[in-house]
Amino acid sequence: MARALALPALLVLAACAAGGDELHSMHALHAMTAAPDTREGVRFPPALREHTLANMRDHLATLQAIQEALARGAYDEAADLSERRLGLSSLEAHGAHEVAPYMPAGMQEAGTAMHKAASRFAIEASNAGATGDPKPAFAALATLTAQCVACHAAYKLENQPPPSNSQQR
């Protein structure tokens, strides 16, 4: 098992050791071939925009913590993290009712689907602790992450335009 994990780690280290020029070139090539950004822009009031961005950063940190817990076989911990910080139980703590009116319907649906997927993952992670079979939990985690990817592929938060001179008076 340790040898199976060692090869990918060595490849990552080798890529990092290759130097910034090679990695920068790979990033530049990707940027040149990337498709134009066709995501729908969404504007929230500045305070809600910052609040939403902080929530999304917490969602990403939570996904990392869930993966760490799964790697240790701490299925109940992964379930708790998911439900408490991403699942349907987290909606009030994230202030979902405050930002929802500013979201297009599709973005609201994607958010609801993500929170539901997180709650489903929590159930599967708990089940893995009881059965010893983590495969359904990993599948549920993939579904959860796919919801995040789909939303970020369709929408982007934009800054509010600065007030015009006539509005400042």
pLDDT along the chain (169 residues), means of 10: 42 42 52 81 94 96 98 98 96 88 95 97 97 97 97 92 58
Query: Distance (Å, rounded) from C-alpha 81 to C-alpha 85?
Result: 6
Neighbour-count burial of 40, counting CB atoms closer than 10 A to its CB (0-12 exposed, 13-18 middle, 19+ buried): exposed
At the topology level of CATH, where does 41-161 sit?
Four Helix Bundle (Hemerythrin (Met), subunit A) (1.20.120)
What does the angle CA 144 – CA 80 – CA 50 come to, to the nearest 5 degrees? Answer: 65
The predicted pLDDT at position 96 comes to 86
Whole-number Cα distances in Å, 129 to 124, 133, 169:
9, 8, 62
Query: Distance (Å, rounded) from C-alpha 115 to C-alpha 109?
Result: 10
Q: Are 42 and 102 in contact (CB under 8 A)?
A: yes
Query: Distance (Å, rounded) from C-alpha 112 to C-alpha 87?
Result: 9
Domain boundaries, the chain: 41-161
The predicted pLDDT at position 74 comes to 98
The predicted pLDDT at position 76 comes to 97
Structure tokens at 153: 């592929």
pTM of the model: 0.75
Sign of CA dihedral 47, 52, 58, 61: negative
The predicted pLDDT at position 29 comes to 52
